[in-house]
Structure 1
């Protein structure tokens, strides 16, 4: 097993544990992530998912000898490669689509597929020794094609995306924070606790409102302003009749 699963207080945690290979991602690690995302979606008592790691790296990237993305090289049809590769894309799409928060907590360097995974999550945290990089162009003469360009550009804009994806430059934790890639940088000795506290707080939020907020934020990133505001009103018109809203409203009135 190259990963461990933990659960507490409505928070599911998947931890990469392949430190001997710097947590280079394998097919079974991806399967563990798929199972965790499916469990998060299906379980009413699961409110958030944390993806983290143990050891020197969050991940050194994909283990290209153990990652099922199909054959490469001369004579391989592009359509065949894309069909095999789609399974990886679909995992990141599911993380983005699940109507519950997914948190990436990178305790160390995060490269290649790790950045693509991070970009598909809702929240990202780093320690002071965390770095982020996309070495695919320089090292493989290929692209970080599972969101390493598209999602990363949406998060940090073309200015920094070119710095990372084209120039192959590394963002240290503070620069990643300034660029908007991570939400916070915590000291290593506080990291697990601070991430856990954040995840527990999210898991305790009203589920329907939190899920709709995630959908609407992502929709607003690409919709025109009028459409985005219409979606806000439509979503809220459903929420005001919910039992969660009524309970919160009654508690507020009682407090006043």
Structure 2
């Protein structure tokens, strides 16, 4: 039996989604969209999961498109290629808009679309061996793939995003942290434990509160200040009425009063 290409492991209130093609450097093949969306469906339908960790099996986080499986040196019908790319884009959108926080645990190199998977998460931590680079131009493709222009500009601004996409220069873990792409860089053997500790520190918070915080953070990037403020007011007024808020507030006041 062939190994599953995307694994889901649940540890309490944390789900770990692992891209599991280490023999292919975790490259994205023909079944990537189906496998990833199925994995996130499973996580979304589990009411006990509050936080997700996305990582790769083996020594690579994500190898980008599988050049041997999805590309050809021969003339091809553009329609299937278009649908394949749209499928990959659905994965990025699903991660970016997922209703629970997602931490990327970048265990090694990420190339092209593999970088975009990490950038679509809420934040990333990296092993010392991690690196990002965009190889699109090296094989005659555009850098406009899987949200790369949008996501990288969101993190780095226009000039730096243009620089890394156009030059294909590698961003190592140390530079990635300095640029704000990684919130922390740790030794390889500490990565998963560190990711779990971070995930658990979020998972104990109010599920409704973290979901609304994520919605507000995402919306604020895509609109102007006044609209963001109005949206925040709507979310917060809704949260004020929740039973979970009243329960947690009561516990907080009791602790402060004791």
Q: Cα deviation per residue 1:166-188 (whole Å; 9 max; x = unaligned)?
A: 11101011111121212211122
Partner of residue 222, structure 1: 222
Equivalence map 1:34-49=2 (5 Å): 34-49=37-52
Count of equivalent residues: 253
Structure 1 residue runs of 5 or longer lacking an equivalent are none
Partner of residue 247, structure 2: 247
Find out whether 1:99 has 2:99 as its counterpart: yes
Query: Displacement of 1:81 after TM fit?
Result: 4.1
Q: Is the 8 A contact 1:3 1:16 kept in 2?
A: yes
Partner of residue 188, structure 2: 188
Partner of residue 28, structure 1: 31
Q: Is the 8 A contact 1:72 1:81 kept in 2?
A: no
Partner of 1:27, secondary structure, is coil
For normalisation by structure 2, the TM-score amounts to 0.90
Partner of residue 61, structure 2: 58
Aligned CA RMSD, in angstroms, stands at 2.1
Equivalence map 1:8-27=2 (5 Å): 8-27=11-30
Distance in structure 1 (CA, Å) of the matches to 2:85 and 2:134: 18
Distance in structure 2 (CA, Å) of the matches to 1:45 and 1:251: 22
Q: Is the 8 A contact 1:113 1:144 kept in 2?
A: no
Query: Displacement of 1:124 after TM fit?
Result: 1.0
Partner of 1:125, secondary structure, is strand
Distance in structure 2 (CA, Å) of the matches to 1:104 and 1:157: 20
Equivalence map 1:66-145=2 (5 Å): 66-67=69-70, 76-77=77-78, 81-145=81-145
Query: Displacement of 1:131 after TM fit?
Result: 0.5
Distance in structure 1 (CA, Å) of the matches to 2:12 and 2:160: 37
Relative to structure 1, the CA distance from residue 84 to residue 4 in structure 2 (aligned partners, 3 Å threshold; closer, same or farther) is closer
Relative to structure 1, the CA distance from residue 229 to residue 72 in structure 2 (aligned partners, 3 Å threshold; closer, same or farther) is farther
Distance in structure 2 (CA, Å) of the matches to 1:207 and 1:73: 50
Relative to structure 1, the CA distance from residue 243 to residue 73 in structure 2 (aligned partners, 3 Å threshold; closer, same or farther) is farther
Structure 2 residue runs of 5 or longer lacking an equivalent are none
Distance in structure 2 (CA, Å) of the matches to 1:80 and 1:23: 22
Distance in structure 1 (CA, Å) of the matches to 2:84 and 2:189: 40
Partner of residue 168, structure 1: 168
Query: Displacement of 1:29 after TM fit?
Result: 4.1
Q: Cα deviation per residue 1:135-166 (whole Å; 9 max; x = unaligned)?
A: 11122333341111121111111222122211
Query: Displacement of 1:75 after TM fit?
Result: 7.1
Distance in structure 2 (CA, Å) of the matches to 1:10 and 1:29: 25
